[in-house]
């Protein structure tokens, strides 16, 4: 009897879950819809409109903004994608290594050292990180200056990193703790039994990391990476302050269009392109179902 009631109640809940699910999500979605998507729609529409011709004073639908965006800034779009991808790969590797060491490391002192160390860049906002890196990585900046003082380099041998490498370094420096924090947390919640068993069987720690730990924290890692990619695509301060070269990241061109030409159309077109790129990345991972399956199991 108790079993039947339980079964019945579970059935009720499962059917109600769809509705209650929507209800729970509603406040958050409405908030975003009202406060962001609605103003955003103006920008979206702006991307697809140009001022009308002499005969027609209004605006008309056109892809002209996109054509201009690709014509002038096509190489910047490619540059952005490459930079963000490279940074993501480096961040993922670093986070796995750090998280792996904290979880699997046996020397307590060293593990604690890493645990205290890796978090600090989290608290430094991007603009400050860019500023630090600008005077740190320069040809005659602090890093090279110290190396020269220590006798490891001569002034003629120094190189500056104030180009795409500086941008990648800054992104990795700032985002690595973010991803590492989430990954370490996920690794810490894993069931130790499997790890211990593999260890007792004599498997090396790197092997344990790669074959047992990482697959289990994949969902968290992917989520953290998607968030990092989204953040990196939207940062303006870092490319502005670090690299003067062309090509540069899309955000710089967007700001330039607005500030120099008041050309919101092309700026918004670049924005749409940027959103499509990040949306694509997120979509791929969501479709692979690695973010969890909700009630479908």
Partner 1 sequence: MTQASFWQNQAQAPKQTLAARIGDLAGGGIMGALAVGFCILLLAIAIFGPLTNLLLWTVAEQWYFPHTFPARYGFDFWARVFHPDGNAFVSLRYSLVIAVLTVIFCLSLAIPAGYALARLALPARALILLVFLVPQAFPNIPVHINIARVFYQLDLHGTVGAVVLVHTLHGMVYAVWIATAAFGAVDKTLEEAARDIGAGPIRTFFTITLPSAMPGIIASAIFVFLESLDEFTGTYFVGAPEITTLPMLMFRAGMEGNYQVASITALVLLVPSVLFMIVVERFLRADVLAAVGR
Partner 2 sequence: MKFKTLGFATTLAMAISAHAQAESILNVATAGSENMVEYVNQYLAPKFRELHPDVTVRVIGTGPGDAGSNAIMERLSAQKDAGASADIDVAVVHEKPVGKMVTDGLLAKYAASADTASLVSSDKAKNALGVDVEGYVMPMFQSQTAWAYHPALVSNPPKSYAELSDWVKENPGVFGYNGIRNGMSGVSFVNGWMYAFTGEADKMMKGPFDPSLVGSEKWNAALADLKEFNKNVTFTPGNAGTLDMLNRGEIGIGPVWVDMFYSWQADGRVNPEIKLMLPEPGMPGQPMHYVIPETSKQRDLAVEFIELATSPEVQAHGIVEQFNWYPGIDAKYLESELSADVWDKLFADITPEDLATKSLSFPLVGYFDAILTSYERDVE
Provide the binding-site residues for partner 2, judged by CB under 8 A. Answer: 72, 134-135, 138-141, 160, 162, 240-246, 248, 252, 255-256, 258-262
Least spacing, CB of residue 54 vs partner 1, in Å: 27
Least spacing, CB of residue 141 vs partner 2, in Å: 7
| Residue 164 in contact with partner 1, rule: CB under 8 A | no
Nearer Cβ to partner 1 (64/119): 119
Q: Which of 224, 236, 220, 223 is nearest to 178 (CA)?
A: 224
| Residue 231 in contact with partner 1, rule: CB under 8 A | yes
Residue among 85, 189, 211, 246 that touches partner 1 (CB under 8 A) = 189
| Residue 68 in contact with partner 1, rule: CB under 8 A | no
Interacting partner of 159 out of partner 1, partner 2, none (Cβ under 5 to 8 A depending on kind) = none
| Residue 256 in contact with partner 1, rule: CB under 8 A | no
Instruction: Identify the three-state secondary structure at position 23.
Output: helix
| Residue 46 in contact with partner 1, rule: CB under 8 A | yes
Least spacing, CB of residue 233 vs partner 1, in Å: 7
Near partner 1 in 197-216, by CB under 8 A: 197, 199-202
- Measured between alpha carbons, how far apart are the two ends of the chain, in Å? 26
| Residue 219 in contact with partner 1, rule: CB under 8 A | yes
d(CA 295, CA 283): 19
Residue among 18, 60, 207, 245 that touches partner 1 (CB under 8 A) = 18
Least spacing, CB of residue 257 vs partner 1, in Å: 11
Report residue 291 as tokens: 């973010």
Q: Which of 199, 201, 142, 132 is nearest to 169 (CA)?
A: 132
Burial state string for 11-38 with b = 16 or more CB within 10 A and e = fewer than 16: eeeeeeeeeeeeeeeeeeeeeeeeeeee
d(CA 43, CA 264): 8
| Residue 114 in contact with partner 1, rule: CB under 8 A | yes
| Residue 45 in contact with partner 1, rule: CB under 8 A | no
d(CA 273, CA 271): 5
The burial class, CB within 10 Å (0-12 / 13-18 / 19+), for 42 is exposed
Total residues at interface with partner 1 (CB under 8 A): 112
| Residue 50 in contact with partner 1, rule: CB under 8 A | no
d(CA 109, CA 5): 54
Interacting partner of 246 out of partner 1, partner 2, none (Cβ under 5 to 8 A depending on kind) = partner 2
If you count them, how many residues does the chain have? 297
């Amino acid at each position: 009897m108790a079993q039947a009631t339980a079964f019945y109640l579970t059935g009720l809940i499962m059917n109600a879950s769809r509705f209650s699910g929507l209800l729970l999500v509603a406040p958050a979605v409405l908030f975003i819809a009202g406060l962001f998507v609605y103003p955003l729609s103006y920008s979206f529409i702006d991307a697809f409109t140009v001022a009308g011709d002499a005969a027609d004073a209004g605006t008309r639908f056109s892809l002209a903004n996109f054509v201009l965006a690709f014509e002038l800034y096509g190489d910047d779009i490619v540059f952005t994608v490459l930079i963000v991808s490279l940074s993501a790969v480096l961040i993922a590797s670093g986070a796995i290594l750090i998280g792996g060491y904290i979880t699997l490391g046996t020397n307590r002192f060293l593990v604690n050292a890493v645990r205290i160390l890796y978090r600090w860049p989290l608290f430094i906002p991007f603009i400050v990180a860019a500023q630090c890196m600008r005077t740190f990585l320069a040809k005659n900046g602090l890093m090279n200056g110290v190396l020269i003082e220590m006798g490891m380099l001569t002034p003629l041998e120094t190189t500056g990193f104030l180009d795409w490498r500086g941008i990648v370094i800054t992104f990795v420096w700032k985002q690595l703790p973010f991803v590492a924090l989430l990954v370490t947390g996920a690794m810490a919640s894993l069931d130790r039994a499997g790890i211990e068993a593999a260890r007792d069987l004599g498997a090396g720690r790197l092997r344990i990391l790669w074959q047992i730990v990482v697959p289990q924290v994949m969902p968290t890692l992917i989520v953290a990476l998607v968030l990092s990619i989204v953040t990196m695509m939207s940062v303006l301060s870092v490319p502005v302050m670090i690299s003067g070269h062309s090509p540069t990241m899309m955000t710089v061109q967007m700001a330039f269009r607005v500030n120099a030409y008041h050309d919101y159309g092309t700026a918004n077109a670049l924005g749409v392109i940027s959103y499509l790129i990040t949306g694509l990345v997120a979509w791929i991972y969501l479709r692979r179902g690695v973010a969890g399956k909700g009630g479908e199991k």
